[in-house]
Structure 1
Amino acid sequence: MKDILSEIIAHKQTEIELQKQTVSLEQLREQAGNIIRENAAHRRSMKQALAASSTGIISEFKRRSPSKGWINEAARAEEIPASYEAAGAAALSILTDEKFFGGTLRDIRTVRPLVHIPILRKDFIIDEYQLLQACIVGADAVLLIAACLSPEQCSTLTTQAHELGLEVLLEIHSPSELSYINKEADMVGVNNRNLGSFVTDVENSFRIARQLREAPHRAVSPLLVSESGISDPETICRLRAAGFRGFLIGETFMKTGHPGETLKEFIRDSLSIDN
C-alpha cells in the first residue's frame, strides 16, 4: 500500500524550497513582524472558542483529498466559510495544500475579513516558513502533525508558532505519539484517519482518549479535538462524553450542495440529541 503521507511530505519539502527562492525566509519574517505589530490584538483563540462553544464544531473547507479525489471542485472561499459561521461553527479549518487537497493560502486571505471565528491553517507544516505564511494571511492557529515531525521539531515549531501569536493543534493518530503531548500544545487532535492509507475509523478517538485518561503521572490535560470520519450527530455526543470538546468535520458538509445548510441541520440534530 502506497504511503500517501510520505509522498505529501516529500512534495512539501520541494515546494517550500521553491517558495524560498521567490520570497526569502528573512523577507517573510519582516512581513510577519509588521503584521504582528499591526494586528496582535485581533488574534482569535481557537482553544477558547472550542471550550466555550455548545457544539465545538470546526467546519473544514476542503475541495479534494488524496483518497477521494474532488469532493467539491467548484467550492468558493468567498461563500462557504462564511455560511459555516452563520450556521454556528465554532471555528474553521482551511486546507492550504494545493497539489493534494486543492487549497491555497489565498483561501485564508480571502476568508479572514469575512468571518469573526478562529481559522486553523491545515497543512503539512514542517518548516518555520509555513508558520510565517500562516501569520501573514491571517490564520489564528496551525496544525502540527506528530507523524511528520520528530518530538524536537514539534517542540521548536510550537515555540515559533507561539512567538507569532498562533495557537497549535497538535495532531496524533496512534498511541506511539502520546509522548509528543506536553503543556505547550494548546490543543491535541486525534486523527481518525490512518495517515498512510487514509482509511478512517472514528473509534481511534475513543481508544486514544482512554489511554490518555489511564496514562500514569500525566499532568497535562489538553483540550481534545476529534478529527475526520465524523458523519452523524450521535457520534459527536459520544465523543463529548469521552472528553472531546472539538470536532473537525469536512467531507460530511463539503460533499453536499450547500455545506452551511448541512452544518445547520447537523447542529440542530446534535442539540436535539443532547436535550
Structure 2
Amino acid sequence: MTILDKIIQTKKREISDSKSKISLQQLKDSEFFERKTISLKETVKSKSGIIAEFKRKSPSKGIINDKVSPLDVASAYENFGASAVSILTDKDFFGGSFEDILSVRKHINIPILRKDFMIDEYQFYEAKSIGADVILLIAACLSPQQVQEFTQLSHKLGLEVLLEIHTEEELKHLNSEVDLVGINNRNLKDFKVDLQHSVNLNNQLPNDVLSVAESGIYNIEDFNYLKEKGFDGFLMGEYFMKHENPGNKFKEFTFNITM
C-alpha cells in the first residue's frame, strides 16, 4: 500500500464521520457559502503566479513548521505579491484543519486553494462553506469521469478547479472545463522529484491551458527554469515554510525573481 492509498483510506473514514456530524444543509447555511469567490485564473495572470502554501508537515518531510499562524503567513504572502494562498486541510497527514482557512478568509483578498484529497461531493460543499475559492483534484486518486463530475459541481458552487497530474496517462483526466492544470514535480507514490518530467508533460498540454508547477521547487534557479519552460503558475510551500518566518522568506524570494 502506497502513502497515497493510506491517505485515501483515512480520508474515507474522515468524510463518513463528518457527514454524521454536519449535514449538507448546515454547510449551505454557513457564513461563507454565498460569498462571491475570487478567480485564481485571473490572479495567476495578474500577479507573481506563485500560489504560496501554508503547510505544517507532510508524510515525506515530517514536521516542517508548526510554530507560525496561518493568518500571519497568509497575510505576508498577500502583501508581497502571491497570486493565491494554498492551505492544507488534511489533519492526519499534513496537520491542517478547516480553522486554518476560516482564520484567514476575512483578512486577505486573494484566492484560497483548499488543498486536500477530494474524493466525495460532500467535500466540495465543505470547501465552499469555509471560504475556499479553488479546490484541488488529484488525478492519481480519481477517474476521468469523477474529474468531470467534480469540476461541474465545483463550478456550480462557484469554485475553480486545479487538476493535478503527474503521468502521461493522467492527461486523459483533463477536460475542457478544468480551470488550471497542476503538474506535480513530486511523484505521490514514492515522493521523488523530477522537474524535467514535468516540463515534458507541460509540453503536451493544450496551448490555452494555464499550467502550474507543483512541489519540489527549492530555489530561484528551479523557479526560473520552470518559468522559461512555459509554466504560468508555481505552487510552493516547503521552500517558505521550512524557515522561521515564511513571510520574510517569501518577500526575499519575490524580490530576487523580479530583480
After superposition, the C-alpha distances for 1:29-48 in whole angstroms (9 at most, x for unaligned) are: x326x7444x23xx110111
Structure 1, 72-81 or 138-147: larger mean CA deviation: 72-81
Give the aligned CA root-mean-square deviation in angstroms. 1.5
Match of 1:191 in 2: 184
Alignment map for 1:234-245 (pairs within 5 Å): 234-245=221-232
Tell me if structure 2 keeps the 8 A contact 1:233–1:267. no
Alignment map for 1:261-272 (pairs within 5 Å): 261-272=248-259
Match of 2:23 in 1: 24
Tell me if structure 2 keeps the 8 A contact 1:144–1:154. yes
Match of 2:8 in 1: 9
Q: Could you tell me how far apart the structure 1 residues matched to 2:197 and 2:216 are?
A: 10
How far did residue 210 of structure 1 move? 2.3
Say whether residues 1:138 and 2:131 are aligned partners: yes
Structure 1, 180-189 or 17-26: larger mean CA deviation: 17-26
The amino acid across from 1:48 in the alignment is E
Tell me if structure 2 keeps the 8 A contact 1:63–1:73. yes
Q: Could you tell me how far apart the structure 2 residues matched to 1:114 and 1:26 are?
A: 26
The amino acid across from 1:178 in the alignment is L
The amino acid across from 2:29 in the alignment is Q
Q: Could you tell me how far apart the structure 1 residues matched to 2:101 and 2:129 are?
A: 10
The one of 256, 266, 272 equivalent to 2:243 is 256
The amino acid across from 2:43 in the alignment is A
Match of 1:45 in 2: 39
How far did residue 201 of structure 1 move? 2.0
The amino acid across from 2:44 in the alignment is L
Q: Could you tell me how far apart the structure 2 residues matched to 1:200 and 1:140 are?
A: 28
Alignment map for 1:1-275 (pairs within 5 Å): 3-28=2-27, 30-31=28-29, 35-37=32-34, 39-40=35-36, 43-53=37-47, 55-212=48-205, 221-272=208-259
Secondary structure of 1:99's counterpart equals coil
* Identity %, equivalent residues: 48
Q: Could you tell me how far apart the structure 2 residues matched to 1:85 and 1:259 are?
A: 12
Structure 2: segments with no counterpart, 5+ residues = none
- What TM-score do the two structures reach when normalised by structure 1? 0.90
Q: Could you tell me how far apart the structure 1 residues matched to 2:192 and 2:115 are?
A: 19
Tell me if structure 2 keeps the 8 A contact 1:226–1:248. yes
Tell me if structure 1 keeps the 8 A contact 2:33–2:130. no
Tell me if structure 1 keeps the 8 A contact 2:33–2:131. no
Secondary structure of 2:232's counterpart equals strand
After superposition, the C-alpha distances for 1:165-212 in whole angstroms (9 at most, x for unaligned) are: 000000001111011111100000000111111222222221211233
Tell me if structure 2 keeps the 8 A contact 1:146–1:170. yes
Tell me if structure 2 keeps the 8 A contact 1:191–1:204. no
Match of 1:215 in 2: none
Tell me if structure 2 keeps the 8 A contact 1:168–1:185. yes
Tell me if structure 2 keeps the 8 A contact 1:95–1:101. yes
How far did residue 132 of structure 1 move? 0.6
Secondary structure of 2:247's counterpart equals helix
Secondary structure of 2:82's counterpart equals coil
How far did residue 114 of structure 1 move? 1.4
